[in-house]
Amino acid sequence: MPDELNPLFGTTWWDKMNEAEKGEVRRNLEAWRFSQFMHGEQGALICTAKIVQTVPDIDSKFYAATQVIDEARHVEVYSRYLHEKSSSSTRSTTTWPACSTTSFVTVAGT
């Protein structure tokens, strides 16, 4: 993302950072953004699982379950991106919440 979209851009803190520090801020900001998307997908996963529970007939459940699978895939993609691509040498991946699709579905009670 362009630096102009970084909330620190244009501040005295930004101006005092060297390029390595700015790079670390960029990586952390992007990881935060992707983390927000991942949590939105977790919410979508819960919502679609609830729809499966509430629809009355089996055909509706089959149809709604396809969306649950899609949302689970979205959670997995964002989770993997955060764990595998967004980590840096100065931050452990354990900083991010444990959120594999399997454990999340168990927590969601589905």
Contacts to Fe ion by CB under 5 A: 41, 44, 71, 74
Q: How far is the CB of 55 from Fe ion (least distance, A)?
A: 19
Query: What is the Cβ-side half-sphere exposure of residue 81, based on CA atoms within 13 angstroms?
Result: 17
> Please, what is the minimum distance in Å from the beta carbon of residue 69 to Fe ion?
11
Contact 5, 30 (CB under 8 A): no
Residue type (1 letter), 18: N
Count of alpha carbons within 13 Å of 68, Cβ hemisphere only? 19
Question: Is the CB of 31 or the CB of 78 nearer to Fe ion?
Answer: 78
Ranked by CB distance to Fe ion, the top (closest) residue is 74
Closer of 44 and 52 to Fe ion (Cβ): 44
